[in-house]
Structure 1
Amino acid sequence: MSTGLAKWAGELAKGVHGFWEKGRWTPLAISARHRAKIRKETLLAGGEWPYDAPRKPERTKMKGHKVDREAALKRARTVELMEKMPQMLADMKKRRWERKLTEKK
C-alpha cells in the first residue's frame, strides 16, 4: 500500500465521489486530482484499487436510420407473406361464403 493510499484509505472507503450523511450529500475530503494521482501510483506499484465505481454495460444500440436497418427484415417478411397469399385468399373467400350462407337463413 502506498503512503498516500494508507493515509486516505478511510476517506476513500466512504464512496468513490462522496457519500450521503444525515440526508445530505458530502463530497470527499480528497480532491479528484489527488485521488487520481494516488490511484495511478497504487496501480503502477502493482497494488489493487478497490474504490472504482462499478461500470455500466456498454451501449449496444447501432447508429444510423431505423428504416435502413429494418428494410431487409421487411423485405423478408413480405416474401413470406406472398408465399402464404394464395391460402390466405382461399380462406377469406371461404369465410365470406360461409357468412353469406348464414345471413340468408
Structure 2
Amino acid sequence: MCMGIPMRLVHVNGIAGQNDCGDLIDLSLTPDAQPGDWVLTFLGTAHEVIGPDRAAQIAAALQGLRAVMAGGDASGAFADLEARAPVLPSHLQAALAAGRTTG
C-alpha cells in the first residue's frame, strides 16, 4: 500500500521541487505546481496539487494512524468521515437498487 503525504513546496526548478524539510519532489505529473502550493506526494512524486484544507485533513489522518499504531487513540483524526454516513459508489448503489446482492 502506498500512502500520499502532503508537502508544501518552497522551491520549484522545472520538474523538481523541494519542501521545507529539503526533500526533493518530482513534479513531472504536476507541471503547474508553484512555490507555496501543497502537493500530494507518493514515493517522492507529486500526483496532485491540493488546497491547504485538504492537506490539513490528510495530515490529521496520518497523525491519527501514527497514534493508533503506537497504541493510542485517533481522537478526531477522521472527523470528515465520522460526520457522515457511508455512501456506496454509484455503480454499487445501482446494483443494490436492482436487487443484486452478489457479484
Structure-1-length-normalised TM-score: 0.27
* Bigger proportion of residues as helix: 1
What is the TM-score when the length of structure 2 is the normalising length? 0.27
Which has the greater radius of gyration?
A: 1
